[in-house]
Structure 1
Amino acid sequence: MRRKYIFIYVLSCLLMSCGSVPLTGRKQLLLVSDSEVLSSSLTQYNDYIKTARKSTSSSQTAMVKRVGQKIAVATEEYLRQNGMSNEIKNFSWEFNLVADKQVNAFCMPGGKIVVYEGLMELVSSDDELAVVIGHEVAHAVAKHSNERMSQQIAAQYGSQILSAALSEKSTMVKNVAGTVYGIGAQYGVMLPFSRTHELEADYMGLILMTIAGYNPEVAVNFWQKMSAQSEGGVPEFMSTHPSDTHRINEINKILPELKKYKR
């Protein structure tokens, strides 16, 4: 009988810890509160940005900030118009261009976006940069870091999480934060998301950039350029992303749907 009650309790806790991703509606496990995610990620981000070399290119830096701010405004507009205004408080947008030749970009929870100069060599317009920044912002909006942390906590601690009523959750969060964010001398960038997360970020990012007034049709050409770049070795940005063919096929499927988001 006791096991039955424990099972019901565990099931109830899991159900209360489920969330839905904006725009896609996919159910996800979220064991960690927004405040805990933001606190742990901000610590990692601040440690990284203190040592990162900011780009000296004023034009490219301005481009990153310009495109980033427009997508941030569009993101908040979408959340506000779709009954998710309470989510806006979780974002404190920041856009940085870092002097690093890696073909890469990342977004930490809370809207801390970093683009690398190496990636800018493949960007020929604001629209193409919007493909990248829209994708990264989508990771934050979809709470992919929270989901990844929750999955690791569940995998590492199992029934301890619920049997202790998450009383030790703060310790658990600290223990997995470093492996989830991975920013530092060893990695230099965020650890890769799953392919499910990447395809979801592609989809959401294209919608967000369209709402911001950018042309999503450039995404196909941009990813083709990224694919050509990868022939000499896979860029970090694409290391765990879906195959180029799969991604481009999925984007082509999405494009007709995006017409309803155009202004």
Structure 2
Amino acid sequence: MLKRIITPAIAAGVLLLTACATHQSPTGRSQMLMHSEAEMAQLGQVSFAQLKQQEKVSQDPALNAYVNCVAERISGVLPPQQWEVVVFDSPQVNAFALPGGYIGVYTGLLGVAENADQLAAVMGHEVAHVLAHHSNEKVSRSQMTGTGLQLLNIGLAAYGVESAATITQLAALGTNVFFTLPYGREQETEADIMGVELMARAGFDPEASIALWHNMAKASSGAPPEMLSTHPSHSTRIKELNAQQQAAKPLYQAARQQSRTVCRAPK
């Protein structure tokens, strides 16, 4: 009986996901986007405002000028949009970009991204998440997954299955390991591919992306196995970035011929 209950539920879930996957990412991957760009921009605006209230914002003029210099060169090769850039005074080795045109860089990152090219690799990657609508995907997938698990639990309970709660918990674990986490890694790889192209078009050396992730590997410890992480392992990421160099190098060489502002890290 259990098989007769679960199989139609899975089939309905697959049909629902397929019906929603009507978009394509910049690399040609199918996407499920349930929200408009305006809705996501509003979410980005609210989230960024909250972060500025919760986190300490750096008042260092030289540091802000440096980060903004790199951001302006990256945004210069993007579709026209105003980007707000904030440097957060925090030891976190992190940066992010949000829908609506918001970039945050933590000062802890600047100890790992040793120069403007490496910082551009991070910014290009984070901005790529926005361009590829990854936030929309994550929100949409989370909503669909939650709904599916609720329907499964209701269905099991309706048929009087005694272990309904346990089965639902196992389904949630399986969804996380085989659906949510690999999907996150897929997004990260896509952002790496797009980010290398963006930094090269902005006149930053794409080889710096490889050096950056070697630095990241040295700075991190105790990272979870790749299978149980939303991010690729450092070795997987470096291998993928190496594979992108041949396509990115000509873009970088062409960009170097143009006059661009030199972004110098403060001493």
Would the aligned equivalents of 1:17 and 1:31 in 2 still touch at CA under 8 Å? no
Partner of 1:112: 102
Partner of 2:51: 48
Q: Deviations over 1:64-93 (max 9, x none)?
A: 1111111111122xxxxxxxxxxx5xx431
Partner of 1:28: 31
Q: Map residues 238-253 of structure 1 onto 2, 5 A cutoff.
A: 240-253=230-243
Please say which of residues 29-38 and 45-54 is displaced more in the overlay: 45-54
1:153 aligns with 2:139: no
The partner residue of 1:207 within 175, 189, 197 is 197
The SS at the match of 1:97 is: strand
Segments of 5+ residues of structure 1 without an aligned counterpart are: 1-6, 77-87, 161-192
Distance 1:259 1:99, change over 3 A: same
The SS at the match of 2:220 is: helix
Partner of 1:61: 64
1:94 aligns with 2:97: no
Would the aligned equivalents of 2:77 and 2:198 in 1 still touch at CA under 8 Å? yes
Partner of 1:190: none
Once superposed, what is the RMSD of the aligned Cα atoms? 2.7
Partner of 1:80: none
Q: Deviations over 1:168-222 (max 9, x none)?
A: xxxxxxxxxxxxxxxxxxxxxxxxx811111111110000111111110111111
The SS at the match of 2:139 is: helix
Partner of 1:4: none
Q: Distance in 1 between matches of 2:142 and 2:68?
A: 33
Report deviation, 1:16. 6.6
Report deviation, 1:13. 9.8
Please say which of residues 239-248 and 102-111 is displaced more in the overlay: 239-248
Q: Distance in 1 between matches of 2:66 and 2:22?
A: 37
Amino acid in the other structure paired with 1:19: H
The SS at the match of 1:115 is: strand
Please say which of residues 43-52 and 94-103 is displaced more in the overlay: 43-52
1:130 aligns with 2:134: no
TM-score calculated relative to the size of structure 2: 0.70
The SS at the match of 1:74 is: coil
Would the aligned equivalents of 1:122 and 1:225 in 2 still touch at CA under 8 Å? yes
Segments of 5+ residues of structure 2 without an aligned counterpart are: 1-10, 151-182, 255-267
1:19 aligns with 2:23: yes
| Identical-pair percentage | 37
Q: How many residues align?
A: 206
Amino acid in the other structure paired with 1:30: L
Q: Distance in 2 between matches of 1:101 and 1:126?
A: 19
Q: Distance in 1 between matches of 2:16 and 2:185?
A: 29
Q: Distance in 2 between matches of 1:62 and 1:260?
A: 28
Amino acid in the other structure paired with 1:61: N
Partner of 2:74: 71
The SS at the match of 2:77 is: helix
Q: Distance in 1 between matches of 2:135 and 2:213?
A: 24
The SS at the match of 2:23 is: strand
